[in-house]
Structure 1
Amino acid sequence: MKTSRLALHLLAPALMVGCASSTASTRPTEPTPTTEVAATPAAPSGYGYSEDEPIHVGGGVDGEMEYLEHLRGPQGQKVRYERRGSCCFFESKESPFGSGMLDVYDVSYDGLAQPVTLYLNMYELKEPRAPEGFTLD
Protein backbone atom coordinates (compact mmCIF):
# COMPACT_ATOMS: atom_id res chain seq x y z
CA MET A 1 0.00 0.00 0.00
CA LYS A 2 1.42 3.39 -0.98
CA THR A 3 1.21 6.05 1.74
CA SER A 4 0.83 9.68 0.68
CA ARG A 5 3.31 12.33 1.84
CA LEU A 6 0.49 14.25 3.58
CA ALA A 7 -0.54 11.15 5.52
CA LEU A 8 3.07 10.66 6.65
CA HIS A 9 3.23 14.24 7.95
CA LEU A 10 -0.09 13.90 9.76
CA LEU A 11 0.83 10.58 11.34
CA ALA A 12 4.46 11.38 12.16
CA PRO A 13 3.82 13.08 15.55
CA ALA A 14 1.84 10.07 16.74
CA LEU A 15 4.29 7.49 15.44
CA MET A 16 7.68 8.96 16.25
CA VAL A 17 9.35 10.26 19.38
CA GLY A 18 11.14 12.94 17.34
CA CYS A 19 10.09 14.50 14.06
CA ALA A 20 11.45 14.96 10.56
CA SER A 21 14.63 16.90 10.09
CA SER A 22 16.18 18.70 7.17
CA THR A 23 19.56 20.27 6.63
CA ALA A 24 18.48 21.89 3.38
CA SER A 25 16.81 25.26 2.96
CA THR A 26 14.01 23.67 0.98
CA ARG A 27 11.37 21.13 1.84
CA PRO A 28 12.91 17.67 2.38
CA THR A 29 12.01 14.90 -0.02
CA GLU A 30 11.79 12.26 2.71
CA PRO A 31 11.50 12.71 6.48
CA THR A 32 14.37 11.50 8.64
CA PRO A 33 14.15 10.85 12.38
CA THR A 34 15.68 13.24 14.90
CA THR A 35 15.57 13.71 18.62
CA GLU A 36 13.58 16.28 20.55
CA VAL A 37 15.32 19.66 20.71
CA ALA A 38 15.93 21.42 24.00
CA ALA A 39 15.27 25.14 24.15
CA THR A 40 18.33 27.34 23.70
CA PRO A 41 18.97 29.06 27.05
CA ALA A 42 20.64 32.15 25.54
CA ALA A 43 18.00 32.68 22.84
CA PRO A 44 16.36 36.13 22.73
CA SER A 45 12.84 36.28 24.10
CA GLY A 46 9.84 37.60 22.23
CA TYR A 47 7.63 36.66 19.33
CA GLY A 48 9.04 33.65 17.52
CA TYR A 49 12.16 33.40 19.68
CA SER A 50 10.69 31.33 22.50
CA GLU A 51 8.40 28.38 23.06
CA ASP A 52 6.12 30.75 25.00
CA GLU A 53 5.57 32.96 21.94
CA PRO A 54 5.85 30.75 18.83
CA ILE A 55 4.94 31.85 15.32
CA HIS A 56 1.52 30.32 14.60
CA VAL A 57 1.75 29.51 10.88
CA GLY A 58 -0.91 26.77 10.64
CA GLY A 59 -1.14 24.63 7.51
CA GLY A 60 1.14 21.83 8.68
CA VAL A 61 4.59 21.42 7.16
CA ASP A 62 3.46 23.29 4.03
CA GLY A 63 2.50 26.27 6.19
CA GLU A 64 5.94 26.29 7.80
CA MET A 65 7.71 26.11 4.45
CA GLU A 66 5.59 28.90 2.99
CA TYR A 67 6.24 31.14 6.00
CA LEU A 68 9.99 30.52 5.90
CA GLU A 69 10.11 31.15 2.13
CA HIS A 70 8.59 34.62 2.74
CA LEU A 71 10.76 35.47 5.75
CA ARG A 72 13.55 37.95 4.98
CA GLY A 73 16.35 39.74 6.78
CA PRO A 74 15.88 43.41 7.71
CA GLN A 75 17.12 44.60 4.29
CA GLY A 76 15.25 41.94 2.34
CA GLN A 77 17.98 39.27 2.50
CA LYS A 78 16.81 35.74 1.69
CA VAL A 79 17.00 33.55 4.78
CA ARG A 80 18.56 30.14 5.17
CA TYR A 81 17.00 27.73 7.61
CA GLU A 82 17.66 24.33 9.07
CA ARG A 83 15.10 22.37 11.03
CA ARG A 84 16.63 21.23 14.31
CA GLY A 85 13.70 19.12 15.42
CA SER A 86 10.71 19.49 17.72
CA CYS A 87 10.11 20.48 21.30
CA CYS A 88 7.57 21.79 23.67
CA PHE A 89 4.52 19.49 23.75
CA PHE A 90 1.18 21.36 23.95
CA GLU A 91 -2.53 20.63 23.69
CA SER A 92 -4.26 21.88 20.55
CA LYS A 93 -7.80 21.58 19.25
CA GLU A 94 -6.40 22.31 15.77
CA SER A 95 -4.22 19.19 15.74
CA PRO A 96 -5.81 15.96 14.49
CA PHE A 97 -4.34 14.29 17.59
CA GLY A 98 -5.45 16.90 20.14
CA SER A 99 -1.85 17.88 20.81
CA GLY A 100 1.29 18.90 19.02
CA MET A 101 4.89 19.99 19.32
CA LEU A 102 6.60 23.12 18.08
CA ASP A 103 9.14 22.88 15.28
CA VAL A 104 12.49 24.51 15.94
CA TYR A 105 14.49 26.15 13.15
CA ASP A 106 17.92 27.78 13.05
CA VAL A 107 17.57 30.77 10.73
CA SER A 108 20.25 33.02 9.26
CA TYR A 109 20.84 35.48 6.45
CA ASP A 110 23.85 37.26 4.96
CA GLY A 111 25.10 39.79 7.50
CA LEU A 112 23.74 38.00 10.59
CA ALA A 113 26.61 37.12 12.94
CA GLN A 114 25.14 33.77 13.97
CA PRO A 115 21.87 31.92 13.32
CA VAL A 116 18.89 32.57 15.57
CA THR A 117 16.44 29.95 16.78
CA LEU A 118 12.77 30.36 15.85
CA TYR A 119 9.80 28.32 17.13
CA LEU A 120 6.92 27.55 14.73
CA ASN A 121 3.48 26.10 15.45
CA MET A 122 2.22 24.27 12.35
CA TYR A 123 -1.16 23.43 13.89
CA GLU A 124 -2.63 26.81 14.82
CA LEU A 125 -2.91 29.82 12.55
CA LYS A 126 -2.78 33.32 13.97
CA GLU A 127 -1.81 36.36 11.93
CA PRO A 128 1.87 35.48 11.29
CA ARG A 129 4.23 38.40 11.44
CA ALA A 130 7.98 38.76 11.29
CA PRO A 131 9.98 38.35 14.50
CA GLU A 132 12.18 41.24 15.57
CA GLY A 133 15.11 41.57 13.16
CA PHE A 134 13.19 40.08 10.21
CA THR A 135 10.62 41.15 7.61
CA LEU A 136 8.04 39.30 5.51
CA ASP A 137 7.72 39.83 1.77
Structure 2
Amino acid sequence: MNKFSFLLLVLCFSSCVSTKSTIKNIDNEAIKPKIESGSFVFTDYATDKNYGFQPDYPINIGVILEQNEEVYIDYFFNGLSGPNSEKILFKKVDSCCPFPTKNSDMGVGLLSIYEFYFEGSTKKNTLYFNIYEKGKIMCPKGFSIKKLNVR
Protein backbone atom coordinates (compact mmCIF):
# COMPACT_ATOMS: atom_id res chain seq x y z
CA MET A 1 0.00 0.00 0.00
CA ASN A 2 1.46 3.32 -0.91
CA LYS A 3 1.86 6.13 1.62
CA PHE A 4 -1.00 8.20 0.21
CA SER A 5 -3.50 5.35 0.53
CA PHE A 6 -2.35 4.66 4.07
CA LEU A 7 -2.69 8.32 5.08
CA LEU A 8 -6.14 8.50 3.51
CA LEU A 9 -7.20 5.40 5.44
CA VAL A 10 -5.91 6.84 8.74
CA LEU A 11 -7.67 10.13 8.03
CA CYS A 12 -10.97 8.36 7.35
CA PHE A 13 -10.79 6.39 10.60
CA SER A 14 -9.77 9.35 12.71
CA SER A 15 -12.47 11.60 11.28
CA CYS A 16 -15.16 9.21 12.56
CA VAL A 17 -14.15 9.63 16.19
CA SER A 18 -15.11 12.52 18.39
CA THR A 19 -12.35 13.89 20.58
CA LYS A 20 -14.71 13.94 23.56
CA SER A 21 -16.70 10.99 24.84
CA THR A 22 -20.46 11.44 25.12
CA ILE A 23 -20.84 8.50 27.50
CA LYS A 24 -22.38 9.84 30.71
CA ASN A 25 -22.11 6.92 33.15
CA ILE A 26 -18.42 5.96 33.28
CA ASP A 27 -17.21 5.19 36.81
CA ASN A 28 -13.56 4.14 37.02
CA GLU A 29 -14.05 3.13 40.68
CA ALA A 30 -16.93 0.73 39.93
CA ILE A 31 -16.52 -2.87 41.01
CA LYS A 32 -17.91 -5.66 38.84
CA PRO A 33 -20.64 -7.81 40.43
CA LYS A 34 -19.72 -11.21 41.83
CA ILE A 35 -19.99 -14.07 39.37
CA GLU A 36 -21.74 -17.23 40.58
CA SER A 37 -22.99 -20.14 38.49
CA GLY A 38 -22.05 -18.32 35.26
CA SER A 39 -24.08 -15.22 36.15
CA PHE A 40 -23.53 -11.77 37.54
CA VAL A 41 -25.06 -11.47 41.00
CA PHE A 42 -27.02 -8.23 40.68
CA THR A 43 -27.72 -6.16 43.77
CA ASP A 44 -29.17 -2.96 42.31
CA TYR A 45 -31.82 -1.86 39.86
CA ALA A 46 -31.13 1.06 37.54
CA THR A 47 -33.21 4.12 38.32
CA ASP A 48 -32.48 5.82 34.97
CA LYS A 49 -34.71 4.56 32.14
CA ASN A 50 -31.90 5.34 29.67
CA TYR A 51 -29.43 2.92 31.34
CA GLY A 52 -28.43 0.45 28.64
CA PHE A 53 -31.10 1.62 26.20
CA GLN A 54 -29.30 4.75 24.92
CA PRO A 55 -25.77 5.02 23.47
CA ASP A 56 -24.90 7.79 25.94
CA TYR A 57 -25.82 5.49 28.86
CA PRO A 58 -24.44 2.06 27.90
CA ILE A 59 -23.87 -0.83 30.26
CA ASN A 60 -20.17 -0.38 30.98
CA ILE A 61 -18.90 -3.91 31.62
CA GLY A 62 -15.22 -3.14 30.99
CA VAL A 63 -12.45 -3.01 31.10
CA ILE A 64 -12.25 -6.43 29.40
CA LEU A 65 -10.49 -7.89 26.38
CA GLU A 66 -12.51 -8.03 23.17
CA GLN A 67 -12.26 -11.82 23.06
CA ASN A 68 -13.97 -11.99 26.50
CA GLU A 69 -16.97 -9.88 25.49
CA GLU A 70 -19.28 -12.83 24.81
CA VAL A 71 -18.50 -14.40 28.20
CA TYR A 72 -19.28 -11.19 30.10
CA ILE A 73 -22.45 -10.55 28.09
CA ASP A 74 -23.55 -14.08 29.02
CA TYR A 75 -22.85 -13.32 32.71
CA PHE A 76 -24.99 -10.21 32.36
CA PHE A 77 -28.03 -11.82 30.74
CA ASN A 78 -27.73 -15.03 32.82
CA GLY A 79 -28.25 -12.95 35.98
CA LEU A 80 -31.48 -11.41 34.70
CA SER A 81 -34.92 -12.43 33.56
CA GLY A 82 -37.92 -10.68 32.09
CA PRO A 83 -40.32 -8.67 34.24
CA ASN A 84 -42.35 -11.83 34.93
CA SER A 85 -39.32 -14.17 35.19
CA GLU A 86 -39.26 -14.91 31.44
CA LYS A 87 -36.10 -16.26 29.84
CA ILE A 88 -34.15 -13.65 27.84
CA LEU A 89 -33.04 -14.44 24.29
CA PHE A 90 -30.30 -12.21 22.89
CA LYS A 91 -27.71 -11.82 20.15
CA LYS A 92 -25.16 -9.24 19.06
CA VAL A 93 -26.40 -7.38 16.02
CA ASP A 94 -23.99 -4.50 15.47
CA SER A 95 -21.37 -2.09 16.77
CA CYS A 96 -21.68 1.67 16.73
CA CYS A 97 -20.84 5.00 18.14
CA PRO A 98 -17.03 5.39 18.15
CA PHE A 99 -15.64 7.19 21.19
CA PRO A 100 -12.15 7.99 22.47
CA THR A 101 -10.75 5.70 25.17
CA LYS A 102 -7.38 5.02 26.74
CA ASN A 103 -8.39 1.37 27.15
CA SER A 104 -8.00 0.41 23.49
CA ASP A 105 -4.78 -0.04 21.54
CA MET A 106 -6.19 2.17 18.79
CA GLY A 107 -7.47 4.85 21.19
CA VAL A 108 -11.03 4.26 20.00
CA GLY A 109 -13.82 2.10 21.38
CA LEU A 110 -17.11 0.99 19.89
CA LEU A 111 -20.33 0.15 21.67
CA SER A 112 -21.78 -3.30 21.10
CA ILE A 113 -25.48 -3.49 20.28
CA TYR A 114 -27.39 -6.53 21.50
CA GLU A 115 -30.93 -7.30 20.45
CA PHE A 116 -33.07 -9.09 23.03
CA TYR A 117 -36.60 -10.26 23.64
CA PHE A 118 -38.38 -12.10 26.40
CA GLU A 119 -39.50 -15.67 25.76
CA GLY A 120 -43.15 -15.71 24.71
CA SER A 121 -42.94 -12.25 23.14
CA THR A 122 -42.00 -11.12 19.65
CA LYS A 123 -41.18 -7.53 20.70
CA LYS A 124 -37.46 -6.94 20.22
CA ASN A 125 -35.41 -4.21 21.83
CA THR A 126 -31.73 -3.30 22.04
CA LEU A 127 -29.16 -2.73 24.76
CA TYR A 128 -25.82 -0.95 24.34
CA PHE A 129 -22.70 -2.37 25.99
CA ASN A 130 -19.26 -0.82 26.47
CA ILE A 131 -16.34 -3.20 27.10
CA TYR A 132 -13.74 -0.41 27.23
CA GLU A 133 -14.91 1.53 30.30
CA LYS A 134 -16.10 0.70 33.80
CA GLY A 135 -19.41 1.60 35.36
CA LYS A 136 -21.83 0.27 37.92
CA ILE A 137 -23.49 -2.82 36.45
CA MET A 138 -27.18 -2.86 37.34
CA CYS A 139 -30.45 -4.45 36.31
CA PRO A 140 -31.96 -2.24 33.58
CA LYS A 141 -35.57 -1.05 33.72
CA GLY A 142 -38.00 -3.69 32.45
CA PHE A 143 -35.87 -6.61 33.66
CA SER A 144 -35.85 -8.48 36.95
CA ILE A 145 -32.95 -9.92 38.92
CA LYS A 146 -32.89 -13.68 38.59
CA LYS A 147 -33.00 -15.68 41.78
CA LEU A 148 -29.88 -17.83 41.57
CA ASN A 149 -29.71 -21.27 43.14
CA VAL A 150 -26.41 -20.76 44.89
CA ARG A 151 -25.26 -22.83 47.83
TM-score by length of 1: 0.60
Q: Does 1:130 align with 2:121?
A: no
Match of 1:57 in 2: 61
Tell me how far apart the structure 2 counterparts of residues 112 and 77 of structure 1 sit (CA, whole Å).
9
Against the structure 1 CA distance between its residues 130 and 80, is the aligned structure 2 distance closer, same or farther, given a 3 Å change threshold?
A: same
AA of the residue aligned to 1:126? G
Where has structure 1 moved over 6 Å in runs of 4 or more? none
In the TM superposition, residue 87 of structure 1 has moved relative to its aligned partner by 0.5
Match of 1:74 in 2: 83
AA of the residue aligned to 1:52? D
Contact kept, 8 Å, 1:57 with 1:124, in 2: the verdict is yes
Tell me how far apart the structure 2 counterparts of residues 65 and 122 of structure 1 sit (CA, whole Å).
13
Q: Does 1:107 align with 2:116?
A: yes
Q: Which runs of 5 or more structure 2 residues have no equivalent in the other structure?
A: 1-48, 147-151
How big is the alpha-carbon RMSD for the aligned residues of Structure 1 and Structure 2?
2.1
In the TM superposition, residue 65 of structure 1 has moved relative to its aligned partner by 2.6
Greater RCO (Cα-Cα under 8 Å, separation 6 or more): 2
TM-score by length of 2: 0.55
Question: Percent of aligned pairs with the same residue?
Answer: 32
Q: Which runs of 5 or more structure 1 residues have no equivalent in the other structure?
A: 1-44
Deviations 1:74-122 (A, max 9, x none): 1222200021110010111222332110000111112445011111111
Match of 1:46 in 2: 50
Tell me how far apart the structure 2 counterparts of residues 95 and 86 of structure 1 sit (CA, whole Å).
15
Which has the larger Rg? 2
Figure out how many residues of one structure are paired with residues of the other and give that number.
94
AA of the residue aligned to 2:104? S
Contact kept, 8 Å, 1:73 with 1:133, in 2: the verdict is yes
Tell me how far apart the structure 2 counterparts of residues 65 and 100 of structure 1 sit (CA, whole Å).
20
